[in-house]
Chains A and B, each alone.
Chain A
Amino acid sequence: MAEFEQGNIRNFCIIAHIDHGKSTLADRIIEKTGTLTSREMSDQVLDNMDLERERGITIKAQTVRNIYKAKDGKEYVFNLIDTPGHVDFNYEVSRSLAACEGAVLVVDAAQGIEAQTLANVYLALDHDLEILPVINKIDLPSAEPQRVIEEIEDVIGIEAQDAPQISAKNGTNIEAVLEAIVEKIPAPEGDPEAPLKALIFDSVYDSYKGVIIFCRVKDGRVRKGTKIQMMATGASEEVVEVGYFGAGQFIPCEELSAGMVGYITASLKNVKETRVGDTITDKDRPCKEPLPGYKKVQSMVFCGMYPADGAKYPDLRDALEKLQLNDASLRFEPETSAALGFGFRCGFLGLLHLEVIQERLEREYNLDLVTTAPSVVYKVYKTNGEVIDLTNPTNLPDPSEIDHMEEPIVNAEIMVTKEFIGSIMDLCQERRGTYISMEYIEENRALLKYELPLNEIIYDFFDALKSRSRGYASFDYDIKGYQPSQLVKLDILINKEEVDALSFIVFEGTAYERARKMCEKLYEFFPRQLFEIPIQAAVGSKIIARETVKALRKDVLAKCYGGDITRKKKLLEKQKEGKKRMRQVGNVEIPQKAFMAVLKLDDD
Chain B
Amino acid sequence: MERDLEIYIHIPFCARKCGYCDFLSFPASEEAKERYVRALVRDILDEGTPAYAVRTVFMGGGTPSLLREGQTAEILEAVHRAFQVDRDAEVTIEANPGTLTKEKLRAYRQMGINRLSMGLQSVSDRELKLLGRIHTYQDFLDNYWEARRAGFDNINVDLMSALPGQTAADWREGLRRTAALEPEHISAYSLIVEEHTPFYERYGRDRERLERGEEPVFLPGEEEERRMYADTLEILSQAGYRRYEISNYARPGRECRHNKGYWKRTPYLGFGLGAASLLEGRRFRRVQEMGAFLERPGAREEETALSRQEEMEETLFLGLRLTKGVSEEEFFRLFGEPLDKAYEKPLEDMLRAGLLERREGWVRLTRRGIDVSNYVMAQFLL
Contact = CB atoms under 8 A, between A and B. Distances in A.
A250 B371 CA distance: 66
Given A563-B276, A565-B314, A573-B381, A556 B268 contact: no
Contacts of A422: none
A530 B246 CA distance: 20
B276 A557 contact: no
B339 interface: no
B375 interface: yes
Given A553-B213, A565-B262, A572-B381, A560 B371 contact: no
A563 B374 contact: no
Nearest to A524: B212
Interface stretch (B64-72, B79-87, B175-183, B221-229): B221-229
Interface centre among A559, A562, A572 (most CB of B within 10 A): A562
- The interface size bin for chain B is 35 or more
Interface in A536-573: 549-566, 568-569, 571-573
Nearest to A556: B373
A146 B318 CA distance: 72
A534 to B, nearest CB: 13
Instruction: Kindly state the interface size class of chain A when it binds its partner.
Output: 20 to 34
Given A555-B372, A556-B371, A561 B23 contact: yes
B317 interface: yes
A228 to B, nearest CB: 58
A566 B283 contact: yes
B276 A550 contact: no
A549 B213 contact: yes
B8 A553 contact: no
B317 A568 contact: yes
Contacts of B371: 553-556
Interface in B213-255: 213, 222-223, 225-226, 246-247
Nearest to A576: B381
Nearest to A557: B374
A528 interface: yes
A579 to B, nearest CB: 7
A554 B225 contact: yes
Interface string B341-382: 000000000000101000000000000001111110110010
A562 B259 contact: yes
A528 B213 contact: yes
Given A530-B353, A558-B189, A563 B268 contact: yes
B262 to A, nearest CB: 4
B192 interface: yes
Given A530-B353, A554-B225, A559 B374 contact: no
B275 interface: yes
A400 interface: no
A437 interface: no
A573 B283 CA distance: 17
B213 A572 contact: no
Interface string A321-350: 000000000000000000000000000000
Given A562-B258, A566-B302, A557 B378 contact: no
Given A555-B374, A572-B377, A575-B374, A560 B321 contact: yes
Nearest to A530: B353
Residue with the highest number of chain A CB atoms closer than 10 Å, among B262, B270, B314: B262
A569 B259 CA distance: 17
Contacts of B226: 553-554
B190 interface: yes
Contacts of B278: 563
Contacts, number: 96
B361 to A, nearest CB: 25
A530 B268 contact: no
Residue in A564, A568, A569, A575 with the greatest tally of chain B CB atoms within 10 Å: A564
B258 A559 contact: no
Contacts of B276: 563-566
Contacts of B314: 565, 569
A242 B282 CA distance: 63
A562 B262 contact: yes
A585 to B, nearest CB: 16
A199 B374 CA distance: 64
A575 B223 contact: no
Given A530-B375, A566-B276, A558 B246 contact: yes
Contacts of B192: 557-559
A530 B372 contact: yes
A558 B190 contact: yes
B87 to A, nearest CB: 24
A542 to B, nearest CB: 27
Contact of B8 (A563, A568, A572): A563
A552 to B, nearest CB: 6
Interface in B171-213: 187, 189-192, 210-213
B222 A554 contact: yes
Contacts of A572: 317, 374, 377-378, 381
Interface string A259-274: 0000000000000000
Contacts of B353: 530
A583 B364 CA distance: 28
A546 to B, nearest CB: 15
Contacts of B211: 528
A361 to B, nearest CB: 27
A549 B370 CA distance: 21
Interface string B124-147: 000000000000000000000000
A572 B189 CA distance: 19
Of A530, A553, A571, which is in contact with the most chain B CB atoms at under 10 Å from its CB?
A553
Nearest to B259: A562
Interface string B253-272: 00000110010000010100
Given A558-B189, A558-B192, A571 B259 contact: no
Contacts of A551: 213
Contacts of A557: 192, 246, 373-374
Instruction: Find the residue from B187, B258, B277, B381 having the highest chain A CB count within 10 A.
Output: B381
Contacts of B187: 559
B262 A563 contact: yes
A561 B192 CA distance: 12
In this complex, the member of B226, B302, B353, B372 whose beta carbon has the largest number of chain A beta carbons within 10 angstroms is B372
A575 B318 CA distance: 16
A549 to B, nearest CB: 7
A555 B373 contact: yes
Contacts of A556: 246, 370-374
Contacts of B258: 562
A526 to B, nearest CB: 10
Interface in B1-36: 8, 23
Nearest to A568: B317
Contacts of B191: 558
B206 to A, nearest CB: 14
Contacts of A575: 374-375, 378
A117 B156 CA distance: 75
B250 to A, nearest CB: 15
Contacts of B213: 528, 549-553
Interface in A138-161: none
A570 B374 CA distance: 11
Given A550-B213, A556-B374, A559-B187, 10 more contacts: A549-B213, A551-B213, A553-B372, A554-B371, A554-B372, A555-B374, A556-B246, A560-B247, A563-B278, A575-B375
Interface of B: 8, 23, 162, 187, 189-192, 210-213, 222-223, 225-226, 246-247, 258-259, 262, 268, 270, 275-278, 283, 285, 302, 314, 317-318, 321, 353, 355, 370-375, 377-378, 381
Interface of A: 528, 530, 549-566, 568-569, 571-573, 575-576, 579
- What are the 7 A-B residue pairs with the smallest beta carbon separation, nearest first? A550-B213, A575-B378, A562-B262, A558-B189, A559-B189, A563-B276, A558-B190
17 contacts: A552-B213, A553-B213, A554-B222, A555-B373, A556-B373, A558-B190, A558-B246, A562-B8, A562-B258, A563-B278, A564-B276, A565-B314, A568-B317, A569-B314, A575-B375, A575-B378, A579-B378
